[in-house]
Amino acid sequence: MGKPTGFMEFQRELPADRDPAQRIKDWEEFHHHHPDVKLQEQGARCMDCGIPFCHTGVRLPESTPFPSGCPINNLIPEWNDLVYRGLWKEALERLHKTNNFPEFTGRVCPAPCEGSCVLGMTDPAVTIKNIEVSIIDKGWEEGWVIPDIPDKRTGKRVAVVGSGPAGLSCAAQLNKAGHKVTVYERSDRIGGLLMYGIPNMKLDKKEVVQRRIDLMIESGIEFIANTEIGKDLLAKDLLNEYDAVVLCIGALKPRDLPIKGRELNGVHQAIEYLHKNTKSLLDSNHEDGNYINAKDKHVIVLGGGDTGTDCVGTAMRHRCKSLYQFDIIPEPPKTRTDSNPWPQMPLIFKTDYGQEEAAAIFGRDPREYLISTTEFIGDKNGTLKALKTMQVEWVPAENGAPFREVPGTEKEWPADLVFLSMGWLGPEDTILEELELERDERSNAKAIEGEFTTRIPGLFVAGDVRRGMSLVVFAFAEGRGAAREADRYLMGSTDLP
């Protein structure tokens, strides 16, 4: 695949991002794009590997939490080669065989495929993610992305609950199989976390997300917003009305920090901050004031990961006065450790867009590691004004915790706003309790691996509600898998991949 000597002739090269000091002045996407000739050179670096690992999507070993390669098994070497040869439309056809929405993964996926690129054993990996998004963006520009209307309908009706990544991919595949699909969403806009959980500068809502949803409507899929299953409609009623139901409701129960002062005004969950900001942006360009404004505020984000970074980037665009991001874990290593070998996803220190922007304005990386928040401090009106921390070290404590606080390291930090980005505890209970679904040890809906089935005939679960909060690309894989099994249940067999 690619040019036989391409990996020796061309170095890894990505298009430059917009200047951090300039891009925080708006909410537009911050990536620039390569010209075709540069993308063909990057495609040429694909090595014609004897055994490519980039599209495997397995855990090596199975006990590791992260995948090696692409969880949806994108045909990466094939479309790299087609891009190198200038066959863009053919590359798009190969890309769409495994990925319903490459414009989403090409923007927000952390690219485990690049972590398992064979070239990455000795040199910088192929720019797989950038090539992927360039293929689909060119497809939209050229008018090659068209409605996927099935030749005939089966007469079967399927309800999909939740319009996030798993729900959208499930609906797209079921529609392709000829079923009549209705997607229910409790928010006022379709898209789930793609719409309200990821900021606009990272994934444009009107030009990217809504464009795809509009195409799905043209393909015959019905979307019903502002309808919460379990409250506005009972899940049991859906089971009676439809031939099959697929729950793709996510795992949106956030981890809290129940310490002294948690009730103070100014302490918020990260998802509340991000949701309100994007909704206000789309509703009124922030003119309605219905969002948490960090302008001229001392901001602290508790926790790392993508959600924490998105809070950092959002606060920077609000023009916060100061910004820190605290994490209780040690700083990741600069290179792979022996316990994180190729082809696993590399767990190394990276500077994402939010930290880059904070460093450009404040002259420092906002992240502080090995730090634990012990108390929120308020004024006489019940408003947050500071927080207290202690340094920790990762040695077992007497109470059984994996770390212990270091005496004498207490510190107080000014804080007007604190955003909790500390992970997720599992799905919300409403639907699962109504249907009395069995849970696993992490409170997720229990289903047979690879079959997505529950104890209720015709009811399937997929995405974060089944596996716990994870990557967008895993949600796509789950949605596609659940669609395949629902189609098999409805028709006796399935041709869905």
pLDDT at 41: 97
Give residue 50's pLDDT: 87
Q: Are 416 and 299 in contact (CB under 8 A)?
A: yes
Q: CA triplet 461, 465, 469: central angle to 5 degrees? A: 140
Beta strands in 201-334 (DSSP E): 222-224, 244-247, 253-254, 267-269, 298-302, 322-327
- Distance CA(229)–CA(93), nearest Å, equals 36
Q: How many CA atoms lie within 13 A of 460 on its CB side?
A: 33
pLDDT along the chain (497 residues), means of 10: 88 96 98 96 93 88 81 95 97 97 97 95 96 98 97 98 98 98 98 97 97 98 98 97 98 96 98 98 98 98 96 98 97 94 93 98 98 97 98 89 94 98 95 96 91 96 94 95 98 97
Q: Are the folds of 157-252+425-491 and 256-422 the same?
A: yes
CATH code for the domain defined by 157-252+425-491: 3.50.50.60
Domain spanning 256-422: CATH 3.30.428.10: no
Q: Give me the pLDDT at residue 1, please.
A: 65
Peptide bond into 343 cis (omega under 30): yes
Domain locations in the chain? Answer: 6-142, 157-252+425-491, 256-422
CATH number of 6-142: 1.10.1060.10
Question: What is the DSSP pairing of strand 384-393 with strand 404-405?
Answer: antiparallel
Distance CA(103)–CA(145), nearest Å, equals 11
> What interhelical angle do 128-142 and 36-44 show, nearest 10?
140
Token look-up 């609000």 returns 318
3-state SS of 133-202?
HHHHHHHHHHCCCCCCCCCCCCCCEEEEECCCHHHHHHHHHHHHCCCEEEEECCCCCCCCHHHHCCCCCC
